[in-house]
Amino acid sequence: MLNENVFLGTEALATLAALVSRPAVTQVFVLVDTNTARYCLPLLERQLPTGFTPIEISAGEEYKTLATCETVWEVLTEARADRHALLVNVGGGVLTDLGGFCAALYKRGISFVQVPTTLLAQVDASVGGKTGVDFLGFKNQLGVFQEPMAVCIEPRFLQTLDPRQLKAGYAEIVKHWLIADAAAFARNRRIGILVDDWTPLIQESVALKQRIVAQDPLESGLRKLLNFGHTVGHALESYLLTQPGREILHGEAVAAGMICEAWLSHHKGLLSDLELDQIETFLFSIYDKVQFVTLETEAIADFARQDKKNAGSTINCTLLEGIGQGVYNQPVTVAEIAESLRYYHRL
């Protein structure tokens, strides 16, 4: 069962229409990127009030910056938006992260609604109250915890996505299985990504994440499980963002990170040979290998020194104590991360 502020399916857009028309809302702003302005906003306009103000930003991780936030804040300020204004964020993980961050800081906080339009945002990024932007090349280096007024998930938006974007979002679903649902992994690894109706998978994935977040909303312990694949994945994604023309999607980095961190789990005696093979075989049946050369592994691994789960100089990683059983705060070294990347490169 989903939390009371998450609406999935046919009720999602009706809920959005009710929220934006509340008498207490003084102005409605709709944040979109160049893609969602074209493909998604037309599907929403009937739910939005006459006179809403669109704010369009460039699409892509490279624009998830304070400079883009300044553009959003400038529009809000010039429109004299007060603390009763509402920001509706329509987009994928980059946009919902950035939009929530902008809303949380503007005038010490205005309400916002997440309308995730990618699979990754629907099953992960828009749920749980994490917001943030990248800084100095490091993923989500600046951010706050701030719950949205509502998350309105309409699976029909997935019809606007290309297969690469769908696969990127699917990585977060697989992550949820690997940390907490062995039966779902066993069931779905023989089916793969041939999905006709995403709604059941979205509901299961969001519910699993919400159960974890409810026990640890500020990520002091259990919520760190949700970072499986992200210590190495964020390092890989951040490094490739510094290499023009080599950028990859977040979910592609997480898929590679899950293989590396499964190897680290095996390396530390937590995961069996069979389980490691099952994870590798399944992920490589869906995702192409991320390309880098062996000489780059140390430089990639060095990005993990800035991971948000770290304590002092200790890099804390989420690993697997068997499929379906994540374990957090596992110390790893930069050298071990580099070795996991070399392992991945050899596969």
Instruction: Assign 319 a pLDDT band (cuts: 50, 70, 90).
Output: very high
Percentage, residues of the chain above pLDDT 90: 90
Q: Is pLDDT larger for residue 333 or for residue 307?
A: 333
* Cβ neighbours around 43 below 10 Å, total: 18
**Chain segment 276-301, per-residue pLDDT in tens:** 999 999 999 999 999 999 999 999 99
Candidates 321, 320, 325; CA nearest to 180 is 325
Evaluated on CA atoms 152, 5, 223, 319, the torsion sign reads negative
Q: Domain ranges in the chain?
A: 6-160, 163-346
Average pLDDT value for residue range 64-74:
98
Round to whole Å and give the CA distance between 329 and 309: 8
Q: Is the pLDDT of residue 194 over 80?
A: no
Residue 117's identity, in one-letter code, is T
Instruction: Assign 339 a pLDDT band (cuts: 50, 70, 90).
Output: very high
Residue 163 C-alpha from the chain's centroid: 17
Q: Which CATH class is domain 6-160?
A: alpha beta
Q: What is the pLDDT of residue 55?
A: 98
Q: What is the pLDDT of residue 214?
A: 93
- CATH code of 163-346, in short, is 1.20.1090.10
Average pLDDT value for residue range 172-178:
97
Round to whole Å and give the CA distance between 250 and 121: 11
Round to whole Å and give the CA distance between 232 and 302: 10
- Residue 331 parent element (H or E): strand 326-332
- Reduced to 3 states (helix: H, G, I; strand: E, B; else coil), residue 132 is strand
Average pLDDT value for residue range 147-158:
95
311 DSSP 8-state letter: B
Residue 101's identity, in one-letter code, is F
Residue 297's identity, in one-letter code, is T
Candidates 206, 123, 128, 231; CA nearest to 170 is 123
Q: What is the pLDDT of residue 308?
A: 80
Residue 130: CA count within 13 A, CB half-sphere: 25
* Cβ neighbours around 246 below 10 Å, total: 12
Burial per residue of 282-304, b for 16 or more beta-carbon CB atoms within 10 angstroms, e otherwise: bbeeebeebebeeebbeebbebb
Q: Is the pLDDT of residue 192 over 80?
A: no
Q: Is the pLDDT of residue 309 over 90?
A: no
Q: What is the pLDDT of residue 85?
A: 98
Instruction: Assign 302 a pLDDT band (cuts: 50, 70, 90).
Output: very high
Q: Do domains 6-160 and 163-346 have the same CATH topology?
A: no
Beta carbons of 169 and 117 less than 8 angstroms apart? no
What stretches of 154-210 adopt beta strand conformation (E)? none
Q: Is the pLDDT of residue 8 over 90?
A: yes
Query: Residue 308: exposed, middle, or buried by beta-carbon count in 10 A (0-12, 13-18, 19+)?
Result: middle
Q: What is the pLDDT of residue 166?
A: 94
Q: What is the pLDDT of residue 94?
A: 95
Q: What is the pLDDT of residue 189?
A: 87
Instruction: Assign 193 a pLDDT band (cuts: 50, 70, 90).
Output: confident
Instruction: Assign 226 a pLDDT band (cuts: 50, 70, 90).
Output: very high
pTM of the predicted protein model: 0.93
Instruction: Assign 310 a pLDDT band (cuts: 50, 70, 90).
Output: confident
Mean pLDDT estimate for the chain:
95
**Chain segment 82-99, per-residue pLDDT in tens:** 999 999 999 999 999 999
